[in-house]
Structure 1
Amino acid sequence: MTAPIRIGMVGGGFMGRVHRMAQRLDGDYQLIAGAFSSDPERARSSGKALNLDPARVYTDFTTMAEREAAREDGIHVVSIVTPNHLHAPIAQAFIEAGIHVICEKPLSISLEEAMALRALVRRHGVQLLLTHNYSGYPAVRRARQLIREGTLGELRLVEVDYAQDWLSEAGSEGWRGDPALAGPAGALGDIGIHAWQLADYVTGREIDTLSADLHTFVAGRQLDDFAQAMLRYRDGARGRLSVSQVSPGNNNRLRLAVYGSRGGLHFDQESPDALWFARLGDPLQRLSRNGPGSGAADLQASRLPAGHPEGYLEAFAQLYRDFACSLRGEAPPDIALPDVDTGCRGLAFVEAMLASSQSNGAWTAPAYPTD
């Protein structure tokens, strides 16, 4: 049996619990170190609750990176689950220590920071996974494969929407409402970047220019709680993106529709076990996870027989499992894990959205990195 990969964690909260569950699901990782809080008592309490060696519970990430790198039994990879403004400095400390990184999105709070991390990853030869977990769903991978095979024909339209309601009233923002901690984008940086990545991953098409409108509905809020854009793709396709955290009745309604000259696809994150496919002129089909016609990419991301639902945690765990394969030098199917380049391109999208909205919707080209 392959030994689990030694992993550490910086940060905590809700997403910390999600990441730890994802790490455990397939037995690929063992959590052995962490910096869960800068407060010594909280750090010790968190470490004790996770049955960690007290000597490997830290109160700052710099010390953790240095000491773990110096140990023969040190961690191989670190998981970063902190507010956005800390992603880049924490990732930098561990990359420079030669430790692989799993980072919550967004990669940083600016494209400049993200590009600096990209250079560090290449210089130190480490791997970085960005947890855009929706790309771990089997249905999403099946949609990507169908498009790559040309099943839809020439792509014409891409529509992606992400609606939530938890910011419909003032006072619930937490650190996500503080530009110093969250960065310059609110709903756009929190869920808009997920919507962008889902469309980007499935279609494989890059946005050429976009016309954006960001708005803040709740009085006193410093960051956007709504964003929308018209999209023009480099191959001539057109698109639309809309994200809102002030839409009552919506929890995590992330939906993607892609239409081509020969057919269309529709995915709904709240019903993730199915992909809806319409071949032009034929009845609408429900393609079940692990059902007839499944391919290598989506079968590899499916753990249970069709009809036994899999969802958010399994998709999250799939990224961890695929990253474990990559760290071990194994070869999973062609699934294109979200990495440091994905993070840079995502920040280029965010900054183009901000610039366009500030210019009254002027068509703006994302400054995607080039080699």
Structure 2
Amino acid sequence: MVGGGRDAFIGRVHRHAMALDARFDLVAGALSSQPEKALASGRDLGLRDERNHGSWQALLDHELSLPAEERVQVVAIVTPNHLHHEIALAFVEAGFHVVCDKPLVHTSEQADALVRAVARRGTVFGVTYNYGGYPMVRQAREMVRQGAIGEIRKVVVEYHQGWLATPLEGGNKQADWRTDPARSGIAGAIGDIGSHAENLAATVTGLEIESLCAELRTVVPGRRLDDDASVLLRFRGGAAGVLLASQIAAGCENDLRLRVFGSEGSLDWRQEDPNVLIHAPLAAPRQVLTRGSPWLSEAAQRACRIPAGHPEAFLEAFANIYRGVAADIDARLAGVAADPLDADYPHVEDGARGVRFIETVVASANSEARWTPI
């Protein structure tokens, strides 16, 4: 693991997720950009001294010095955004599999370079758009594929948080780097949570955005990046959409919601009630589908770990991404094609698409023309 040391929120989440199915062992790391903190963090987690490093470069050099069969197989990158590209590219070029947090990188040029490197080296590269790991999101995806709601006409995806409704910068580590253009990139809320919303809509519908019209606002005085975004979407094939992403929505915690409206019905899923999917057929009673039920799709069933009625949520969905990466690596080691329902995770190409989405939203918001092709 690179990043994710003491006081880091997402690194702890990654470690919980990768441990849930006993498919991974954390054996080496460079857990902070501050060498002393990195080493202390590694000791906290029980890393052996020889594999506990003060920098990611030292980690890479040491792993490459080992016989191939003794090296780590996967590197999890959980640093702030501005460090993703250099670290990910170095490990991919060295032949390691990678799991990287989102958004993938800062620019589409960096994203394209990663896509090319992964293709050239033949490595596994997962991006932790974790909401696609929820069983009922996978159920919604399968229902769309099977035509349960007919031809998609409109998509509405919203991600509202309220934690940045006040100026937390200057004392809150998470707020500090997420609102810093040098570390977060060209976008604030639209990059941090809007990228999740875009990926959720793409995962479920399979639609590609053709063009968009965006407004980005910076509501809190003195903040340097957007904290509120409203985006109109046009999809290839004629469907329309709306994407909202806000971190100044007072009273909201982690309110991610997707509604997909088709010619024969609609689907409605909310992350804060993740074990339920509402299916409203056009000419039949409204149905409440629940996680773990035997009549769900095979994709949804495989994403479940415990019986119906026992809630599964954020960590389990996150773990499904890691389980998909593990299945893909295992299949490659065995020289066989991976079962797509087992090796179900967002790839580097999904991360690259997310970067292009962020760039296009910013370009649209800064344009007089507004409708901007993607």
Q: TM class by shorter-chain length?
A: over 0.9
Which residue among 61, 65, 68 is the counterpart of 1:66?
Answer: 61
Deviations 1:25-51 (A, max 9, x none): 000000000001233332222111111
* Residue 176 (structure 1) aligns with: 178
* Residue 233 (structure 2) aligns with: 231
CA distance in structure 1 between the partners assigned to 2:369 and 2:26 by the alignment? 46
* Residue 159 (structure 2) aligns with: 162
CA distance in structure 1 between the partners assigned to 2:61 and 2:4 by the alignment? 17
CA distance in structure 2 between the partners assigned to 1:335 and 1:155 by the alignment? 27
* Contact 2:324/2:344, CA 8 A, preserved across alignment: no
* Residue 50 (structure 1) aligns with: 45
Which residue among 118, 140, 145 is the counterpart of 2:142?
Answer: 145
* Residue 17 (structure 1) aligns with: 12
Deviations 1:34-84 (A, max 9, x none): 001233332222111111101101111122112113313110000011110
Amino acid of the residue matched to residue 134 of structure 2?
Y
* Residue 276 (structure 2) aligns with: 274
Deviations 1:205-232 (A, max 9, x none): 0011111000000111000000111111
- Alignment of 1:135 with 2:141, yes or no, is no
Structure-2-length-normalised TM-score:
0.94
Residues 27-38 of structure 1 mapped to structure 2, 5 A cutoff: 27-38=22-33
* Residue 352 (structure 1) aligns with: 360
Deviations 1:165-185 (A, max 9, x none): 011011342111110000000
Q: What's the secondary structure of 2:25's corresponding residue?
A: strand
* Contact 1:160/1:241, CA 8 A, preserved across alignment: yes
* Contact 1:104/1:130, CA 8 A, preserved across alignment: yes
CA distance in structure 2 between the partners assigned to 1:128 and 1:157 by the alignment? 31
* 1:334 CA displacement: 7.4
* Contact 1:26/1:321, CA 8 A, preserved across alignment: yes
Residues 1-371 of structure 1 mapped to structure 2, 5 A cutoff: 8-12=1-5, 13-72=8-67, 73-172=70-169, 173-329=175-331, 330-333=338-341, 336-360=344-368, 362-366=370-374
CA distance in structure 2 between the partners assigned to 1:104 and 1:360 by the alignment? 33
CA distance in structure 1 between the partners assigned to 2:73 and 2:341 by the alignment? 23
Q: What's the secondary structure of 1:323's corresponding residue?
A: helix
Q: What's the secondary structure of 1:143's corresponding residue?
A: helix
* 1:9 CA displacement: 3.7
Amino acid of the residue matched to residue 125 of structure 2?
L
Q: What's the secondary structure of 2:29's corresponding residue?
A: strand
Work out the number of aligned pairs and report it. 359
CA distance in structure 2 between the partners assigned to 1:47 and 1:157 by the alignment? 48
Deviations 1:281-326 (A, max 9, x none): 2221110111142111010100011100000000000110111000
Deviations 1:100-154 (A, max 9, x none): 1000001101111111111111111111100000000000000000000111111
CA distance in structure 2 between the partners assigned to 1:361 and 1:349 by the alignment? 17
* 1:356 CA displacement: 0.6
CA distance in structure 1 between the partners assigned to 2:340 and 2:305 by the alignment? 15
* RMSD between superposed Cα atoms in Å: 1.2
Amino acid of the residue matched to residue 66 of structure 1?
D
Amino acid of the residue matched to residue 194 of structure 2?
G
* 1:362 CA displacement: 1.2
Amino acid of the residue matched to residue 372 of structure 2?
T
Deviations 1:325-356 (A, max 9, x none): 00001424177521110011111111110111
* Deviating 4+ runs (over 4 angstroms): none
Amino acid of the residue matched to residue 125 of structure 1?
G
CA distance in structure 1 between the partners assigned to 2:251 and 2:342 by the alignment? 37
CA distance change for structure 1 residues 334 and 278 in 2, over 3 Å: closer, same or farther? farther
* Contact 2:327/2:342, CA 8 A, preserved across alignment: no
* Contact 1:69/1:99, CA 8 A, preserved across alignment: no
Structure-1-length-normalised TM-score:
0.94
Q: Unaligned 5+ residue runs, structure 2? A: 170-174, 332-337
CA distance in structure 2 between the partners assigned to 1:321 and 1:361 by the alignment? 44
